[in-house]
Structure 1
Amino acid sequence: MTGPTGPAPATTEGGAPHANAPSATALEDALSVNAAPTTARAARERAAAASTATGGEGGAAGMSPASDTPGGVGTGPARDGRGGAATSPASGGPGGGGVDGVLAGVVAGRRVWLCDLDGTLVDSFPAHEAAFRQAVAEVVPAALPSFRYADHAGASTAEVAALLTGDREVAGRLARRKQELYRRFVEQGRVRPFPGARRLLGLLAGGGQVAYLVTSGSRGSVERVLTGSALGACFRDVLTADDVPVSKPDPAFYHLACRRWHVDPAEAVVLEDSPHGVASAVGAGLATLHVHTAEPASGAVAVRGLDEIVSLLEMM
């Protein structure tokens, strides 16, 4: 959703419900869990491969790069521009064959939903891209001709800034400027929920399921988006890039979320929109829905749009 993702030199502004940052011991434990088959580098390579396979996009729409995650509208697997894919396999019906049957099998019995924000629940890609391009033009203009925001979908602002500059001080200035511009765009109303987002979260609450937000965005940016979109009250808690010492696609991001909230991975399902986010969730052993796409990243189930999940839940 940047990715909000990995921590950036962002500040923490108030508003969204959240728990205290995890202790150093908890972070070490979470990171040690990730020592197993999937390393951050391996996850990143899988995400890059998945991105190439789907047309070079992160498949996200607003939440991706860096501290503020971008994700979904823009370029990538064919979209209708508002969260739906232009094409998709034929559907069966809940519990039957086809896409709906597969989707029903994934969500059935899952009491916890771990949701990305940018590009997943809100259409923030255009605002993230505009903010990044302007910041790059101001801080590191030489990097602008080759900068392609979609290549960084799902990563944190801080991570993208570091990759673009190779200099800690310059990266810090770039990340701060990008966040400043993005937050201004949010306050101007340029980031809105995708169709079906509010209905989906309402159905989960009404059905006794718990929704948590797991985003690569900085807390300051995430809180502004949640306030502006009126989605903040839908989540029991929020984990942002400012709370985690790693960035998607590292599985430690989701490992830490599960440990923090005492979530059994077998009882949870993840909503993600980018290969980076999918790699992080799948690497943590979580059932994952890759939304707003017809071509899912490895290990995930494709979902055309949030309305598809809404329709299924209403029939279950």
Structure 2
Amino acid sequence: MELIALRAAVFDLDGTLIDTEPRNRVMWARLFAAYDVPCDDELIASFAGRRGQDVLAGLAHLFPGRTAEELFEQAVSYETLPGMPADVPVPGAVDLIRALAKAGVPLAVVTSGLRPYAERLLDGLGVRDLMDLIVTGGDVVTGKPHPEGYLAAARDLDVPPEGAVAFEDAPAGVAAVKAAGMTCVGVTTTQPVGALAEADHVVADLKEVDVVPGPALRVRGL
């Protein structure tokens, strides 16, 4: 069990605050199936934590005649189809955000998703109004694993990166946090412990993180 002092807390969204992975996996698999493109778990996992458009741009050879933007819009259109897996809050996520806000810790979300999507999920969690800042995939030139989004959050919160703690569930996100110079807490919602080895601390979910006077975080961890 460790204590981590912090001046700001920054959260990834998908897989960190809300488990959208089952739905996202179905969404991407449906896109590949629509073009008869074979896919496996490794290919689907390559989307985790990254902007979908960036991943699709690297797979352009599999979709001749289609742009990454067109493919992304098609994939997103599957989100509302009947029978899609439901999004589930990560255990402890809402309580942690509320406790941090009560302690006066500045809060931000840095997500690879676009703004309407991010705001809809945060509204669903009931924490949108507690966030001081939302940095989306549309707000940056270069997405995760590049640190641009996290550096922008630190700048706009007026906190040095080394004073912030960020929470991530995917290797690309962890790499972005560490490149920004922040302390990283990995959450094994969607990835095994080994995939988050670069994180400073790893927890099963956010029930393993408590806010204590300071303010600081008490991390039980794995």
TM-score w.r.t. the length of structure 1 is 0.60
Aligned partner of 2:23 in structure 1 is 127
Aligned partner of 1:244 in structure 2 is 140
Cα gap change, 1:168 to 1:157, in 2 (>3 Å): farther
Query: Match for 2:59: what amino acid?
Result: L
Aligned partner of 2:43 in structure 1 is 148
Cα gap change, 1:286 to 1:185, in 2 (>3 Å): farther
Query: Match for 1:178: what amino acid?
Result: A
Q: Does 1:171 align with 2:171?
A: no
Cα gap change, 1:125 to 1:299, in 2 (>3 Å): closer
| C-alpha RMSD over aligned residues | 2.5
TM-score w.r.t. the length of structure 2 is 0.83
Shift in Å at residue 271 of structure 1? Answer: 0.6
Contact 2:144 2:173 (C-alpha < 8 Å) held by counterparts: yes
SS of match in other structure, 2:155: helix
Q: Does 1:213 align with 2:213?
A: no
Cα gap change, 1:223 to 1:171, in 2 (>3 Å): same
Q: Does 1:309 align with 2:209?
A: yes
Q: Does 1:117 align with 2:17?
A: no
Cα gap change, 1:218 to 1:211, in 2 (>3 Å): same
Cα gap change, 1:198 to 1:189, in 2 (>3 Å): farther
Cα gap change, 1:118 to 1:185, in 2 (>3 Å): farther
Aligned partner of 1:34 in structure 2 is none
Shift in Å at residue 253 of structure 1? Answer: 2.6
Distance in 2 between residues matched to 1:217 and 1:199, nearest whole Å: 23
Shift in Å at residue 300 of structure 1? Answer: 2.4
Cα gap change, 1:262 to 1:132, in 2 (>3 Å): same
Number of aligned positions between the proteins: 208
Cα gap change, 1:141 to 1:307, in 2 (>3 Å): same
Cα gap change, 1:283 to 1:143, in 2 (>3 Å): same
Query: Match for 1:306: what amino acid?
Result: L
Distance in 1 between residues matched to 2:81 and 2:120, nearest whole Å: 10
Aligned partner of 1:158 in structure 2 is 53
Deviates more, 1:289-298 or 1:215-224: 289-298
Q: Does 1:181 align with 2:81?
A: no
Q: What do residues 203-243 of structure 1 show as CA deviations (whole Å, max 9, x unaligned)?
A: 10111111100111122221221222323122111000011
Contact 2:145 2:173 (C-alpha < 8 Å) held by counterparts: yes
Shift in Å at residue 189 of structure 1? Answer: 7.9
Unmatched segments (≥5 aa) in structure 2: none
Contact 2:184 2:199 (C-alpha < 8 Å) held by counterparts: yes
Cα gap change, 1:276 to 1:185, in 2 (>3 Å): farther
Shift in Å at residue 147 of structure 1? Answer: 6.6
Cα gap change, 1:297 to 1:146, in 2 (>3 Å): closer
SS of match in other structure, 2:59: helix
Query: Match for 2:53: what amino acid?
Result: A
Q: How does 1:1-316 map to 2 (within 5 A)?
A: 100-101=1-2, 104=3, 107-108=4-5, 110-138=6-34, 140-144=35-39, 148-166=43-61, 169-182=66-79, 184=80, 190-292=86-188, 294-295=193-194, 296-310=196-210, 313=212
Identity %, equivalent residues: 30
Answer 1 or 2: which has greater strand percent: 2
Distance in 2 between residues matched to 1:233 and 1:290, nearest whole Å: 24
Shift in Å at residue 185 of structure 1? Answer: 6.1
Query: Match for 1:214: what amino acid?
Result: V
Shift in Å at residue 286 of structure 1? Answer: 0.8
Cα gap change, 1:299 to 1:197, in 2 (>3 Å): closer
Distance in 2 between residues matched to 1:135 and 1:242, nearest whole Å: 22
Unmatched segments (≥5 aa) in structure 1: 1-99
Query: Match for 2:205: what amino acid?
Result: G
